[in-house]
A and B are shown apart, each in its own frame.
Chain A
Amino acid sequence: MSKSKPVLSSSIGKKLIMSLTGLFLCMFLIVHLIGNLQLFKDDAGLAFNKYAYFMTHFTPIKVVSYLLYASVIIHVIYAIVISLKNKAARPIGYASYDGSANSKWNSRNMGILGTVILVFLATHMSNFWWKYHNDQTPYIEYRTDLSTGVTTHQEIQAADFHDYSIVSENGVEIVKARDLYKQVDYAFKNVGLVALYVIAMAALAFHLIHGFQSAFQTVGFNHKRYIGLVQFIGVWVFGVIIPILFAAMPLYFYFR
């Protein structure tokens, strides 16, 4: 038994990368979902727009967001590398192959599901992230009467918007912000986009029902006492609750 190869060039090392980046992206989903639940608040987007500013300007969050972009890219690259190697491992396929007899459809088609999610991600980023970062969203001003707590809002022009600001004068709090909420509202009037989002969330559900527990198996965590909990979380939290709540957002804006 001689000196062995570096860990990341091995099959198990590559799987480890897939597993860790995948789990990190799963953690992100929880944060992203909780933040976005503010879209359901009927406040003309005051809470959501404040949150959007915080998420794009608080340094630790920015650091994590770059890790996130890196994770998506690494997850995709390694998926391609591993898939190519797997294709090469069986140069001549079976004339007759009964995959459903021994494995679930989603476990065999993670690449297709992942591609749907990647297309969605590109669309999603261009819909909101790109527009928010390139001054392509509308602007809004909220005026809250601090004595009565009543908030009014109006769209303002780019000329009247200098930067995100919260000022209080004469008992009125004035918040000026980029109106990402309005952008969301606008985007989800497009039925094609709503359909893409809902389909992508279905793909995400099936991807994670296999992916979450698969990631634990890859890092070697398959303990009789806890694996049931891992599978439960994988199916119900990441496969059902999270995708349904995300899918509810475009549907809510489309039908309200």
Chain B
Amino acid sequence: MSAHMNLTLKVWRQKNDKSKGQFVTVQANDIADDMSFLEMLDIVNDELTRKGEDPIYFDHDCREGICGMCSLVINGRPHGPKYGITTCQLHMRSFHDGQTIVIEPWRAAAFPVLKDLAVDRTSFDRIQQAGGYTNVNTGGAQDANNILIPKRIADEAFESATCIGCGACVAACKNASAMLFVSAKISQFALLPQGQTERYERAQAMVDQMDAEGFGNCTNTGACEAECPKGIKLTNIARMNREYLGAKLFREEDIHG
């Protein structure tokens, strides 16, 4: 038997990217504690729709913790009060009857609010497009394991590659810095042989794009690592710094004419 609860939501409502938003208080009644946080919002939206009001707009897609869409800051924490999960993996049993829950969008200049709780994260896409790729030859696929990679390197690269680009690192950071995201993307390629061709250009291009998007500077508080639903480590940022500074100071190749 699941318990039911009544909650007070203070939700950020904003008509569009041009308008000024504000907090609106909404009641969420008869919420089962087995529901996920997003299911709770679905119930609230059903009620709002029935009453002819505009439902609360929020991003979501897979609802199994791998797409990185559900970008909600809940009571001052990205993805809510638990560690290592996305909002869709957060259940209402983490809250209690009568609680007031403040729900806000990611806050960053580089993540403008589109409507209510949904933000525009295409700045991440542009960073990725600036250098987060490898060039490969067309034609028949190589045999598997043609390129030898030590297991610990493969594992480390895989750890970095688990980043889902949700932006919780930016949301959690007091400086709205994107360095955990960018460093995970740089690391994943820097570690593997397939990423070597563009290695040093990549670090420079992605960091330049990150700066151009208006993200803040990392001050190593570690908030990003603590809030990352995928457990991306701060060591990635140290690696990015090495890659970038190494590229700038020692590896920027020009043809000696």
Closest-CB distance, B210 to chain A (whole angstroms)? 7
A147 at the interface (CB under 8 A from B): no
Residue among B216, B220, B226, B227 with the highest chain A CB neighbour number at 10 A: B220
With A7-B249, A92-B107 as given contacts, are A107 and B221 in contact (CB-CB < 8 Å)?
yes
* Contact digits for B35-71, partner A, Cβ 8 Å, 1 yes 0 no: 0000000000000000000000000000000000000
B122 at the interface (CB under 8 A from A): no
Q: Which of A54-62, A94-102, A186-194, A240-248 is the contact stretch? A: A94-102
Identify which of residues 191-217 in chain B touch chain A, using a CB-to-CB cut-off of 8 Å.
Answer: 198, 201-202, 204-205, 207-208, 210-211, 214-217
B223 at the interface (CB under 8 A from A): yes
With A1-B205, A103-B221 as given contacts, are A217 and B234 in contact (CB-CB < 8 Å)?
yes
Contact indicator A102/B220 (Cβ below 8 Å): no
Q: Which of A43-51, A83-91, A120-128, A153-161 is the contact stretch? A: A83-91
Contact indicator B107/A90 (Cβ below 8 Å): yes
Identify which of residues 1-49 in chain A touch chain B, using a CB-to-CB cut-off of 8 Å.
Answer: 1-2, 4-5, 7, 10-16
Q: In the complex, which of the residues A7, A85, A96, A213 contacts B248, with contact meaning CB atoms closer than 8 Å?
A: A7
Closest-CB distance, B137 to chain A (whole angstroms)? 19
State the CA gap A11–B206 with chains docked (Å).
12
Q: In the complex, which of the residues A85, A91, A107, A222 contacts B217, with contact meaning CB atoms closer than 8 Å?
A: A85
Contact indicator B241/A90 (Cβ below 8 Å): no
With A5-B208, A11-B210, A82-B217 as given contacts, are A89 and B109 in contact (CB-CB < 8 Å)?
yes
B4 at the interface (CB under 8 A from A): no
Q: In the complex, which of the residues B176, B198, B205, B218 contacts A15, with contact meaning CB atoms closer than 8 Å?
A: B218
State the CA gap A108–B222 with chains docked (Å).
10
Closest-CB distance, A97 to chain B (whole angstroms)? 5
Residues in chain A near residue B73, CB distance under 8 A: 94, 96
Contact indicator A94/B245 (Cβ below 8 Å): no
* Contact digits for B120-142, partner A, Cβ 8 Å, 1 yes 0 no: 00000000001100000000000
Residues in chain A near residue B23, CB distance under 8 A: 95
Closest-CB distance, B76 to chain A (whole angstroms)? 4
Contact indicator B220/A218 (Cβ below 8 Å): yes
Residues in chain A near residue B235, CB distance under 8 A: 222, 224
Contact indicator A99/B223 (Cβ below 8 Å): yes
Contact indicator A96/B75 (Cβ below 8 Å): yes
The closest CB in chain B to the CB of A5 belongs to B208
State the CA gap A217–B205 with chains docked (Å).
21
A149 at the interface (CB under 8 A from B): no
A219 at the interface (CB under 8 A from B): yes
The closest CB in chain B to the CB of A7 belongs to B248
State the CA gap A2–B219 with chains docked (Å).
28
Closest-CB distance, B95 to chain A (whole angstroms)? 14
State the CA gap A112–B107 with chains docked (Å).
23
Q: List 30 A-B contacts (CB under 8 A).
A: A1-B131, A1-B202, A7-B245, A10-B244, A11-B179, A11-B217, A16-B245, A89-B110, A89-B214, A90-B108, A90-B175, A90-B176, A90-B216, A92-B107, A96-B104, A98-B77, A99-B223, A101-B77, A101-B81, A102-B77, A102-B222, A102-B227, A103-B221, A210-B220, A217-B241, A218-B220, A220-B238, A220-B243, A221-B238, A222-B239
Which residues of A are in contact with B by a Cβ distance under 8 Å? Answer: 1-2, 4-5, 7, 10-16, 82, 85-86, 88-99, 101-104, 107-108, 110, 210, 213-214, 217-222, 224
